[in-house]
Amino acid sequence: MLSPDITIIGTGGLGSALARGLNAKDISIKSIFNRTKAKATLLARQIEVERSGTFPNSTVEVGELIFLTVPDRCIKPVSSRLASLDDEWSNKTVVHCSGNESADLLDDLKQKGATTASFHPLQTFPPESSPDRFEDIYFNMQGDPSAFPLLKRIAEQLEANSFEVDDNEKSHLHAAAVIASNYLHTILDIAVGTAVLGGLSREESKKALLPLVKQTVENAEKFSLEDSLTGPIERGDISTVKKHLKLLEKNELLRDIYVELGRSTVSLAARSGAISEETADQFYGLLK
């Protein structure tokens, strides 16, 4: 499959993983740029990209598809700086990878003829992420629809999926991603903190809880969220919830979290038909 020449600007967590991911799939990278030159030079050497530096000097140095993988706050200034390089951008597609920002941040380039879009991977890329981290993930694409066939093709080459979103869908999806990823992490920290109250160490607690977390995610993958719910609320076990509330009564924050998440769990259990309306009301009476 023919690929466009690609340029990556910003070689942090996502930019370096993207460069390695594209390279692993034999997709041609024309140039790599990064504010700190040494990082761009090292990455370019590792994956045999000829041109690297802090910033392109002219449009000759950039490919047909340009990824701006700089922090969100830098997307607009980098886009303006790129636009000032040339008055003719009509043969280039420029995308940023922010989940929160729309393609409008690239308007300076759009006004000069570039096709612009956002291309956000629903995945987390800490430093030194492996190139296969794109496999099976979902990219959402927003902006100029004429960019989408090319972006879809890039996603396919990375063995990822892609779908189109409008501004509103994109913003809600990003909030959802924060809840599903970051807050899951936070909930695990809160769960460990709860176990520690009973006398276990953080390390022991984390080790014991992790297989449970993994299986929960696996169940959610195999079945609907309604069908895969387990636990005392799904079983209608009022006395267990009462006991937990008693245990946590001295810790207001933990109790509040238990109550709020418990109420949402009751709603899910009622929706799935696991508990009757009457049992749900009993839970709601306790969880307040």
Ligand X SMILES: NC(=O)c1ccc[n+]([C@@H]2O[C@H](COP(=O)([O-])OP(=O)(O)OC[C@H]3O[C@@H](n4cnc5c(N)ncnc54)[C@H](OP(=O)(O)O)[C@@H]3O)[C@@H](O)[C@H]2O)c1
Binding site for ligand X (CB under 6 A): 9-15, 33-36, 39, 55, 69-72, 74, 78, 96-99, 120-121, 124-125
DSSP 117: E
Q: Which residue is nearest to ligand X (CB)?
A: 12
The tokens for 279 are: 């049992």
Cβ 97 to ligand X, closest distance in Å? 4
Which CB sits closer to ligand X, 34 or 279?
34
Cβ 120 to ligand X, closest distance in Å? 6
One-letter amino acid at 32 equals: I
Q: What share of the chain is helix, strand, coil (3-state, %, to 5)?
A: 55, 15, 30
Cβ 79 to ligand X, closest distance in Å? 10
Cβ 99 to ligand X, closest distance in Å? 6
The tokens for 48 are: 């045999």
Which CB sits closer to ligand X, 96 or 112?
96
Could you count the other beta carbons within 10 Å of the beta carbon of residue 89? 23
Which CB sits closer to ligand X, 97 or 229?
97
Cβ 202 to ligand X, closest distance in Å? 25
Count Cα atoms within 13 angstroms, Cβ side, for 194.
20
Which CB sits closer to ligand X, 86 or 234?
86
Which CB sits closer to ligand X, 9 or 280?
9
Could you count the other beta carbons within 10 Å of the beta carbon of residue 2? 5
**CB pairs under 8 A, 24+ apart, for 198-203?**
none
